[in-house]
Amino acid sequence: MTENINLQGAGHDSISLLFGHPDPSTLLTPEFQFAMQCVFSDPSLATSLQYGPEQGNPELIQFLANKINREQELSIRSENLMVVAGSTHAVDMLARLYAGPNSVVLVEAPTYADSLSIFRDHQIELYAIPMDEDGLIPEALEAQLLRLHERGKDPVMLYTIPNFHNPTGSTLTVERRREIVALARRFGFLIVEDDVYRDLTFGAVPPPSFYALADGVGVMSIGSFSKTLAPGLRLGWLLASEDIIQRCVVCGTTQMGGGANPFVAHIVSEYCKSGHWETHVAHLCTLYQERRDTMLAALSRSMPADVTWTQPLGGFFTWLSLPRTVSAQHIKQLALQEKVTLATGGGFFVNPGDGDHNLRLAYSYATSTDIDVGVSRLAQIIQLART
């Protein structure tokens, strides 16, 4: 997931509460460099520079299958997985193959901004389902499904980010997940589960995935190395039923491209087999939990009483709700003058006006000191804007 957000006015000395990116210091560990060196010195190096299998690197697929089976108590096979060039590739491919022009896709309100751009590229009709602190609201989903059915506009797909949501940081409860699976079966739509933050948990194990709850039927689950290893690798995976994976494998772009990033996949496979990825992820969880704690403490200490925010259990973000009299765009401009960058809510909604009073704050990229200073400055700005 990239962050396609305009940085106009942000200088090198700014405090960024904007970037939904990993901490730069975590991107090139000695262990990952060693995996690269092993691949570079491998006599079969040239093979990984050729077109690869359409489904992806077999060793990496088997590693992922074992990991998912162990952590989610599943029994998937390699046929249930496909290597993709990051989650963006997977969302675009699924939108093209399973939705397409004039079809109806449901998304959360708010949702990941760049997914909206992808769906709009495919001329898809989007309908938003509201959320609260526990994630997407099943009753609102059912009501929207009934309204659309009456109009002959049955959705083909629900796109959802159930764990440590971008932008809100919320996690969908297991009870709601079960209700949504039941609605998907009743109304006949697919669930696209964008689960790229799942590994970045601050304690409790995330609820069972949609894929697990649906026994792998009608769910496409997306994972990525972008948040836990490096986004520049452009590498992730798609988990789905064998027939869905096969359709993606034989589609035109996959056949023409010869598999996603074979050379990078070779390096990542070498790294994962060494056992260092799990250790690295554990370090990231500790690091980001400390920064989450710093941000929440700073918000509690500094913010006016009529500003609220989410309490993320993992991932990169928290979501602020401002008083109705305070404009998020105005706050953003004032924050830029104080050298603090952040994302306003509008870009995360199908109807941008719905985010006029929301801000997304990221704690993954900035240091704890910068988070503390940045939140303090932001609180002063909001207080002045209210007077």
Q: What is the pLDDT of residue 258?
A: 81
Q: Is the pLDDT of residue 281 over 50?
A: yes
Nearest to 187 by CA among 145, 249, 148: 145
Tell me: do 239 and 98 sit in the same domain: yes
Q: Is the pLDDT of residue 376 over 70?
A: yes
Instruction: With respect to residue 7, please indicate whether it lies within any of the assigned structural domains.
Output: no
CATH number of the CATH domain containing 71: 3.40.640.10
Find the angle CA(196)-CA(277)-CA(255) to the nearest 5 degrees.
Answer: 55
Instruction: With respect to residue 82, please indicate whether it lies within any of the assigned structural domains.
Output: yes
Residues 94-110: tens digit of each pLDDT = 999 999 899 999 999 99
Residues of the domain holding 108:
32-274
Tell me: do 349 and 370 sit in the same domain: yes
What is the average per-residue pLDDT within 70-95? 96
Instruction: With respect to residue 299, please indicate whether it lies within any of the assigned structural domains.
Output: yes
- Distances in Å between the Cα of 283 and the Cα atoms of 39, 228, 313, 375, 376 are 25, 10, 16, 24, 27
Instruction: Give the number of domains in the chain.
Output: 2
Tell me: do 185 and 306 sit in the same domain: no
Report d(CA 54, CA 251) in Å as an integer. 10
What is the average per-residue pLDDT within 262-286? 96
Instruction: With respect to residue 235, please indicate whether it lies within any of the assigned structural domains.
Output: yes
Confidence class for position 46, pLDDT limits 50, 70, 90: confident
Q: Is the pLDDT of residue 330 over 70?
A: yes
Q: What does the mean pLDDT of the chain come to?
A: 94
Tell me: do 252 and 378 sit in the same domain: no
**pTM greater than 0.85:** yes
Instruction: With respect to residue 196, please indicate whether it lies within any of the assigned structural domains.
Output: yes
- Distances in Å between the Cα of 137 and the Cα atoms of 116, 140, 375 are 19, 5, 30
Instruction: With respect to residue 322, please indicate whether it lies within any of the assigned structural domains.
Output: yes
Report d(CA 342, CA 379) in Å as an integer. 13
Q: Is the pLDDT of residue 43 over 90?
A: no
Confidence class for position 387, pLDDT limits 50, 70, 90: low
Cα–chain center distance at 36: 26
Residue 265 in tokens: 């996949």
Residues 126-183: tens digit of each pLDDT = 999 999 999 999 999 999 999 999 999 999 999 999 999 999 999 999 999 999 999 9
Q: Is the pLDDT of residue 3 over 50?
A: no
CATH number of the CATH domain containing 317: 3.90.1150.10
Residues 303-314: tens digit of each pLDDT = 999 999 999 999
Confidence class for position 204, pLDDT limits 50, 70, 90: confident
Whose structure tokens read 């489904």? 55
Tell me: do 209 and 337 sit in the same domain: no
Question: Residue 308, Cβ neighbours under 10 Å: how many?
Answer: 13
The crossing angle, in degrees rounded to 10, of helices 138-150 and 174-187 is 10
Tell me: do 67 and 165 sit in the same domain: yes
Q: Is the pLDDT of residue 8 over 70?
A: no
Tell me: do 155 and 175 sit in the same domain: yes
Cα–chain center distance at 75: 24
Instruction: With respect to residue 251, please indicate whether it lies within any of the assigned structural domains.
Output: yes
- Distances in Å between the Cα of 184 and the Cα atoms of 97, 171, 196 are 18, 19, 22
Which of the listed residues 274, 307, 322 is the one where a domain comes to its end? 274
Find the angle CA(40)-CA(261)-CA(76) to the nearest 5 degrees.
Answer: 110
CB distance 157 to 98 below 8 Å: yes
Tell me: do 206 and 308 sit in the same domain: no
Tell me: do 65 and 167 sit in the same domain: yes
Number of residues that this document lists for the chain? 387
Which of the listed residues 250, 274, 298 is the one where a domain comes to its end? 274
Tell me: do 315 and 375 sit in the same domain: yes
CB distance 111 to 135 below 8 Å: no
Which of the listed residues 274, 296, 320 is the one where a domain comes to its end? 274
- Distances in Å between the Cα of 298 and the Cα atoms of 38, 291, 294, 369, 375 are 44, 10, 6, 11, 6
Instruction: With respect to residue 2, please indicate whether it lies within any of the assigned structural domains.
Output: no
Tell me: do 238 and 283 sit in the same domain: no
Q: What is the pLDDT of residue 44?
A: 82
SS3 labels along the chain: CCCCCCCCCCCCCCEECCCCCCCHHHCCCHHHHHHHHHHHCCCCHHHHCCCCCCCCCHHHHHHHHHHHHHHHCCCCCHHHEEEECHHHHHHHHHHHHHCCCCCEEEEEECCCHHHHHHHHHCCCEEEEEEEECCEECHHHHHHHHHHHHHCCCCCCEEEECCCCCCCCCCCCCHHHHHHHHHHHHHHCCEEEEECCCCCCECCCCCCCCHHHHCCCCCEEEEEECCCCCCHHHCCEEEECCHHHHHHHHCCHHHHHHCCCCHHHHHHHHHHHHCCHHHHHHHHHHHHHHHHHHHHHHHHHHHCCCCCEECCCCECCEEEEECCCCCCHHHHHHHHHHCCEECEECHHHCCCHHHHCCEEEEECCCCCHHHHHHHHHHHHHHHHHHHC
Tell me: do 44 and 98 sit in the same domain: yes
Confidence class for position 11, pLDDT limits 50, 70, 90: low
Q: What is the pLDDT of residue 4?
A: 46
